[in-house]
A = this chain, B = another copy of it.
Amino acid sequence: MIRLLIADDHPIVRSGLRAVLAAEPDFEVVGEAATGERAVESARALAPDVVLMDLRFGPGLTGAEATRAITSGAGGPRVLVLTTYDSDADILAAIEAGATGYLLKDADPADLAAAVRDAAAGRSALAPAVAQRLLGRLRSPGAALSLREAEVLELVAAGLSNQQISKRLFLSQATVKSHLVHVYAKLGVDNRTAAVAAARERGLIRP
Q: Which residues of A contact B (CB under 8 A)?
A: 9-20, 58, 84, 105-109, 112, 156-161, 189, 191-198, 207
**B159, A109: Cβ atoms under 8 Å?**
no
Q: Which residues of B contact A18 (CB under 8 A)?
A: 16, 19
- How far is B58's CA from A18's CA once the two chains are assembled, in angstroms? 24
CB distance from A113 to the nearest CB of B (A): 12
- A20 contacts B11, CB within 8 Å? yes
Contact of A12 among B17, B160, B192 (CB under 8 A): B17
- A195-B159 contact, Cβ under 8 Å, with A12-B112, A19-B16: yes
Task: Please name all residues of chain B whose beta carbon is closer than 8 Å to the beta carbon of A196 when the two chains form the complex.
Answer: 159, 193, 196
Q: With A16-B17, A19-B19 as given contacts, are A11 and B193 in contact (CB-CB < 8 Å)?
A: no
A159 neighbours in B (Cβ, 8 Å): 189, 191, 193-198
Given A19-B18, A84-B84, are A109 and B194 neighbors across the interface (CB < 8 Å)? no
- Bound-state CA distance A156–B14 (Å) is 35
Complexed CA–CA distance, A40 and B41 (Å): 44
* Shortest beta-carbon distance from A129 to chain B in Å: 11
The CA of A109 and the CA of B18, in the complex, are separated in Å by: 14
Q: Pick from B14, B58, B192: contact of A16, CB below 8 A.
A: B14
CA distance A15 to B58 in the complex (A): 23
Task: Give the residues in chain B near A105, CB-CB below 8 Å.
Answer: 10, 12-13
Take A84-B84, A193-B192 as given contacts and tell me if A11 and B58 are in contact as well, using a CB distance cutoff of 8 Å.
no
